[in-house]
């Protein structure tokens, strides 16, 4: 018993040392190799399939409950850009529900785009996928040519999206929608507290981007005041709504997964969870997995 306890202690100590080493290496390697390291980390994240996971389908439905009314005003020929589309869960649904609208999904991951193409809905001629970075896609786009830009669950891995703001403003047509999500500060706090990672807390409280969990990828997180400051203050857009997605549940590895995971629930339970998350999403968007912000470019 004593030996087991010593072994467990040794394991705990070594894992903490590795996290510390990982953090130092992460910071150093990022300074030295910047975008290359970031893109490797992002590419790795696309091994997780967002199209075929039941919990992600649940969250897609939650997004749709909010987005439906905004997307209802689209006209034939309008263009939607789904930036960082991964396996295409948003683009596919858009293509089915808006057959007369053009949808372009882009992602830097070849693996994700291959999967998105292979699993495209039937007769979705209005849908196109391309391996591209967000910057490449936006800079090739003509002024005022896009009706909707969607960037869901992307900024968490791509803090540099801030540099794309001038292109986002330029490409969107007047009145066009900018739909973006942000990882909440609260989520990261819970994650660290839940994993006994106390040293990361000051950074999460005081900063809004950096290296977490011994990972060389740079992450970004926000609270709702910062979100409105960026969209209204920096971008001069009209902020329609900030809404929380996943206030009472999560996916494997999330702090919220300790409460529940949608994939483990039956239909009735999922419906009840959905009602609870809808209320909480409106009341306290900061206390969710992601904050969904819908804004529009001034006419
Ligand atoms: C968590 S997934 C979200 C996927 C999708 N938007 C959704 O909500 O289902 C994040 C995706 O953003 C992509 N991504 C991150 N930074 C990018 C960049 N600079 N250019 C293109 N894709 C990027 C990643 O490759 C990944 O597929």
Q: Is the CB of 108 under 6 A from ligand 1?
A: yes
Handedness of CA 135, 140, 143, 145 (dihedral sign): negative
CB of 109 shorter than 6 A to ligand 1: yes
CATH 3.40.50.150 fits domain 46-184+222-296: yes
Residue 4 binned pLDDT confidence (cut-offs 50, 70, 90): very low
- Residue 119, number of CB atoms within 10 A of its CB: 14
The tens digit of pLDDT for each residue in 283-298 reads 999 999 999 999 999 9
Kindly report the protein residue whose alpha carbon is nearest to atom 10 of ligand 1. 154
CA dihedral 258, 260, 263, 266 (to 10 degrees): 150
Residue 85, ligand 1, Cβ within 6 A? yes
Specify whether the backbone of 219 is left (phi greater than 0), alpha (psi in -120 to 50) or beta.
Answer: beta
Is 152 a pocket residue for ligand 1 (Cβ < 6 Å)? yes
**Range with the lowest mean pLDDT among 3-17, 26-40, 47-61, 240-254?**
3-17
Q: What is the mean pLDDT of residues 216-238?
A: 97
The answer to whether the CB of 245 is under 6 A from ligand 1 is no
**Closest atom of ligand 1 relative to the 150 alpha carbon:** 6
Whether the per-residue pLDDT at 17 is higher than 60: the answer is: no
Say what the pTM is: 0.89
* DSSP conformation letters of 88-147: THHHHHHHHH-TTSEEEEEES-HHHHHHHHHTPPTT-TTEEEEE--HHHHHHTSPTT-EE
Residue 115 pLDDT greater than 80, yes or no: yes
The DSSP call for residue 50 is: S
91 alpha carbon – ligand 1 mean position (Å): 12
Strands (E), 138-264: 146-151, 172-183, 209-211, 218-220, 238-245
Q: Where are the beta strands (DSSP E) in 47-155?
A: 79-83, 102-107, 127-131, 146-151
Our answer on whether the CB atom of 67 is closer than 6 Å to any ligand 1 atom is no
Ligand 1 centroid distance, CA of 83 (Å): 7
| pLDDT tens-place string over residues 151-210 | 999 999 999 999 999 999 999 999 999 999 999 999 999 999 999 999 999 999 999 999
Q: Residue 24 — pLDDT band, cuts 50, 70, 90?
A: low
The response to whether residue 89 sits with its C-beta less than 6 Å from ligand 1 reads yes
- Does any ligand 1 atom lie closer than 6 A to the CB of residue 113? no
Question: Which tens digit of pLDDT belongs to each residue from 32-65?
Answer: 677 888 888 888 888 888 888 999 999 999 999 9
């Amino acid at each position: 018993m004593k030996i087991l306890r010593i072994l467990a202690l040794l394991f705990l100590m070594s894992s903490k040392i590795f996290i510390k080493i990982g953090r130092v290496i992460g910071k150093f390697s990022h300074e030295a190799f910047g975008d290359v390291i970031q893109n490797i980390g992002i590419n790795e994240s696309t091994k997780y399939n967002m199209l075929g996971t039941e919990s992600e389908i649940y969250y897609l439905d939650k997004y749709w409950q909010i987005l439906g009314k905004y997307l209802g005003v689209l006209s034939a020929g309008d263009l939607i850009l789904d930036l960082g589309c991964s396996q295409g869960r948003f683009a596919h649904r858009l293509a089915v529900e808006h057959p007369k609208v053009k949808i372009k999904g882009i992602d830097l991951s070849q693996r994700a785009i291959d999967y998105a193409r292979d699993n495209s809905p039937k007769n979705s001629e209005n849908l196109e996928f391309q391996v591209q970075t967000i910057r490449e896609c936006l800079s090739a786009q003509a002024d005022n040519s896009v009706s909707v830009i969607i960037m869901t669950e992307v900024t968490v891995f791509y803090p540099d999206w801030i540099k794309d703001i001038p292109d986002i403003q330029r490409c969107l047509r007047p009145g066009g929608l900018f739909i973006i999500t942000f990882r909440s500060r609260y989520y990261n706090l819970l994650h660290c507290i839940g994993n006994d990672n106390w040293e990361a807390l000051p950074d999460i409280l005081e900063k809004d981007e950096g290296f977490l969990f011994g990972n060389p990828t740079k992450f970004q997180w926000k609270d709702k005041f910062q979100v409105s400051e960026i969209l209204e203050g920096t971008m001069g857009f009209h902020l329609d709504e900030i809404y929380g997605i996943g206030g009472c549940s999560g996916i494997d590895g999330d702090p919220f997964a300790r409460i529940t995971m949608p994939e483990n629930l039956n239909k009735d339970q999922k419906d009840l969870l959905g009602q609870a998350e809808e209320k909480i999403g409106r009341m306290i968007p900061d206390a969710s997995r992601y904050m969904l912000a819908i804004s529009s470019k001034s006419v």
